[in-house]
Amino acid sequence: MIIMTNAREGAAEAMSRMAASHFVNRIVLTTKFRFETNERDPAGGGHTALWNMFKPVASLTVEELRRVVLGELLRSQRLGLVDAAIAFGSWLRAEGRVPDGIVFTNDDVRLACAPHVRESIDDDFTRVAESYWEMHTSDIGRESRVPEFLVPLADVPKGRSASAPVAKSHPEHVVPLAFIRDQCLALLEQRYPHGNPESRREAVAEMAALVRRWLVIVQVSDDEWQRLDEGPLQVKQSMPVGWDPDTGCLFARLHHTDIRFAMNAGVEEAWRCACNHASVPTPSAA
């Protein structure tokens, strides 16, 4: 009986440590992504979906997070990542927002920050890849629109279909964002299944290259958008059956739904269609 009791107590203690570790990791991730976003856009408030994806407690509102983490710790006090994460943890304790049974120290937060304290990330595609790594190694959900939130539209190669009106056209990601996310997570599962921190840099660089290659937008008409999202080919969130990620044309979905288009003037050849499908005159850069 004593042995069974000790075993149960040991299991409960292990579960408690895991819960605390998970909570602390959320504190660090929330602070980290806001820290890097604030460096890039000092006047912005951060996208609501990203705040919700990383927050450590479901009851925290986006308004609270913006006020405390972004407004007070990062902008008013100008704290670095580690100090801001520790201060955020202290605020959660003081406000009674730490769930029952979870105990952590400032040293726990400092230790959890260690893998993230390195040179500042100044590449938005790398930030997207970092978020996929966190999806792979942490319980933060699988928001597909992360590239849309983190990569400025000005940095995305763009084109326009022959039928797209100048006003009120639909920005279509030629490779669906859900497909990009799923391919990156599949890559991690196949090649980095255990999320070894020593592999992080290599994995993130590989995913960032994929995102940079596949993140392309073509403006389409409402009718063309419906054909892509609701048509019989079922390519709303995937590429056509048999499409090869290494050799397939980025614009295969548009070809399969008979959408004629051209990339804007100034877009590099790497993001232009090399197929023999009919194209339209190149529109001016947008």
Cβ atoms 163, 223 nearer than 8 A = yes
Q: What is residue 50's predicted lDDT score, i.e. its pLDDT? A: 83
Percentage of residues of the chain with pLDDT beyond 90 = 55
pTM of the full structure: 0.77
Question: Tens of pLDDT along 16-46?
Answer: 788 898 899 999 989 988 887 777 777 777 7
Q: What is the C-alpha separation between 219 and 87, in angstroms, rounded?
A: 44
The neighbouring-strand residues paired with 263 are 159
Laid out side by side, the sheet with 261-263 consists of 170-173, 217-220, 158-161, 261-263
For the four alpha carbons of 56, 59, 62 and 65, in that order, the dihedral sign comes to: negative
Closest listed residue to residue 219, CA positions, set 264, 159, 175: 159
| pLDDT: which is higher, 117 or 207 | 207
Q: What is residue 201's predicted lDDT score, i.e. its pLDDT? A: 86
Instruction: State mean pLDDT over 47-72.
Output: 90
Cβ atoms 261, 162 nearer than 8 A = yes
Domain map of the chain by residue range?
2-120, 153-271
| pLDDT: which is higher, 258 or 195 | 258
